[in-house]
Chain A
Amino acid sequence: MGTLARSLGAVLSAALLMLATACTTQLAPAYDQAISDGLIAANKDVQTLFATIGPGVGKETYPARADAYNNVIGELNALEIQAKARPIPDSIGLTEANKILSANGISQLTNDPKFTNYPSARSIDDASLTIATMRAADQKAGLHGDEIKAFQNQTSIFLMQAITYENFLKRGEK
């Protein structure tokens, strides 16, 4: 958290430097209530799917879950497109934020080929891929043991990233 604190301490400096242009700006996409609502609905459907699976299921019962898998994947893929469809007037924003984080010890972004100005779209895509992989595993051999916990926790991590970012876009309305 010390690194995060240093990064945030640099935020004011970055803002002051950018004041050289002396105008208001938009560095991130606009908040979209429909995307936030869609994420809440998708998260509910994902958690319901895991609740129906419980501690384990055999592949013979997969057909009963096929529609639920397809519904969740379709929801997530549609949300990813919506999230990417918003314009960002000043696309340098995330690049500058990346520099701030990198300069303060968070180097994960360096050489990240998937780095994007739409982080929630990336997380939604990751969640969709996780559910699609789970669907294939379920269809082939059912789901058992800690593999279920790993699928659920992984999906939740990605969805939490997307939900947090989208809610953050409310800005002063938080």
Chain B
Amino acid sequence: MPAIDPKALISDIQTAATNVIGTDVSALGGFSQQQLTAIAQQSIFVAGGIADGSITDDTRDFFLDSLKEMVRSFANTLAGLVAVTVEQVWNAIVGVIWGAINKATGLALAIP
């Protein structure tokens, strides 16, 4: 049976993790940029609406409160996306380790 090569295993783990993170960084970066731009634009629309009188006392506080909520909701979404990324990295690494054990022992252990 081939013994586990620690250097090769570390390299395989890094590759598995990088494949996941590399994909997700691109997606998270694009989402964040889009959101921050849109939220900045929203502050301009709200200020414009107050200035032109279309946003009255009836909705002014709603829009101002919503600016805070959309930042928090954005952060909550970002945390959710990170959780998915962590899950994928974790599972990818477990798969590599179990594969190495199976190869070294000749067993066919299922990934837990």
The reply to whether chain A is a binding partner of chain B is: yes
In contact, B66 and A126 (Cβ under 8 angstroms) = yes
Chain B, 12-47, CB within 8 A of any chain A CB: 17, 21, 23-25, 27-29, 31-35, 38-39, 41-42, 45-46
A12: B residues at CB distance < 8 A? 17, 21, 89
Nearest CB in chain B: distance from A113 CB, A: 9
Find chain A residues with CB under 8 A from B34 CB. 160
How many Å lie between the Cα of A26 and that of B111 in the bound state?
14
The number of chain A residues with a CB under 8 A from chain B is 66
A94 part of interface (Cβ distance < 8 Å): yes
Residues on A with beta carbons closer than 8 Å to the beta carbon of B27: 168, 174
Secondary structure of the B side of the interface? Answer: helix
The count of chain B contact residues (Cβ–Cβ below 8 Å) is 61
Say yes or no: B38 contacts A11, CB within 8 Å: no
User: Is A79 in contact with chain B by the CB < 8 A criterion?
Assistant: no
Q: Given that A106-B78, A126-B70, A150-B55 are known contacts, is A23 also in contact with B94, CB under 8 Å in the complex?
A: yes
Instruction: Give complex CA distance A126, B70 in Å.
Output: 8
Is the pair B94, A22 in contact by a Cβ cutoff of 8 Å? yes
A166 to B97, CA, bound (A): 29
